[in-house]
Amino acid sequence: MRLTLLQKTAICETASKYFGADVQVWLFGSRVNDQAKGGDIDLYIEPQIQNPAELIAAKLQFLRDLHKRIGEQKVDVVLHRPNSLMDLPVYRIAKQTGVLLK
């Protein structure tokens, strides 16, 4: 996994702040591969928040604060409400190939 301890801590703490203490966060994509170079930070997040408007606001605040903590890096966030009936392939791929951070 190609995240520093500072990055991992910042991601987990910031996710808990905006998505709830029981939020689950996975790192997936190229940053999971220790042999790869570069790449953005791809995060799959299962938040406690269910209200779509609140979820969008939380995502924007999360990204703003995360960039303040880790610097300007490209961060992609995939959100999936656990009670949602929608089941996109990216949800399964992120959980199967990713690393659970929190």
> In the predicted model, is pLDDT for residue 65 greater than 90?
yes
Answer whether 75's CB lies under 8 Å from 39's CB: no
With respect to residue 8, please indicate whether it lies within any of the assigned structural domains: no
**pLDDT digits 0-9 by tens, 4-49:** 999 999 999 999 999 999 999 999 999 998 888 878 999 999 998 8
With respect to residue 52, please indicate whether it lies within any of the assigned structural domains: yes
Helix (H) or strand (E) segment spanning residue 9: helix 5-19
With respect to residue 51, please indicate whether it lies within any of the assigned structural domains: yes
Quick one: tokens of 93?
Answer: 């791929």
**pLDDT digits 0-9 by tens, 82-94:** 788 888 999 999 9
- Residue 72: DSSP 8-state: S
With respect to residue 27, please indicate whether it lies within any of the assigned structural domains: yes
In 3-state terms the chain splits into helix, strand, coil percentages (rounded to 5) of 45, 20, 35
Give the total number of structural domains in the chain. Answer: 1
Of 74, 88, 8, 9, residue with least CA distance to 42:
74
